[in-house]
């Protein structure tokens, strides 16, 4: 992780091990493919990315619109992250179902 300390004391970190082609989350919701960085003097770089899956889980019909955000918002997404994220949703749905079934006549 790289840090940039601004004059006002704000510290921003960004993952300098990220490489183009990786799946990431960014400032915009959803999941994106990192396409590159725009480096700036004495600031965190800007991350260029293309959304491939929306926040609701649907695929983007025509990926290709390049978006940009500060690299401090960018996080790598791994297979373990995806498994953990969706297992939590499945477990919550099962709990909701079981809670409702407890109140239905048998």
**Closest to 52 (Cα-Cα) out of 66, 71, 33:** 33
Where do the H-state alpha helices sit in the chain?
A: 79-101
Domain limits, the chain: 2-77
pLDDT digit string, tens, across residues 4-48: 998 899 999 999 999 999 999 999 999 999 999 999 998 999 999
**Domain topology for 2-77:** SH3 type barrels. (2.30.30)
Residue 105 pLDDT: 84
């Amino acid at each position: 992780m790289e840090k940039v300390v601004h004059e006002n004391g704000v510290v921003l970190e960004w993952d300098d091990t990220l490489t183009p082609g990786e799946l990431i989350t960014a400032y915009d919701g959803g999941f994106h493919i990192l396409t590159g960085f725009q480096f700036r003097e004495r600031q965190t770089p800007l991350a260029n990315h293309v959304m491939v899956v929306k926040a609701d889980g649907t695929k983007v019909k025509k990926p290709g619109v390049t978006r940009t955000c500060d690299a401090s918002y960018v996080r790598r997404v791994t297979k373990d992250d995806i498994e953990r994220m969706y297992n939590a949703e499945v477990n919550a749905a099962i709990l909701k179902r079981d809670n409702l079934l407890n109140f239905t006549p048998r």
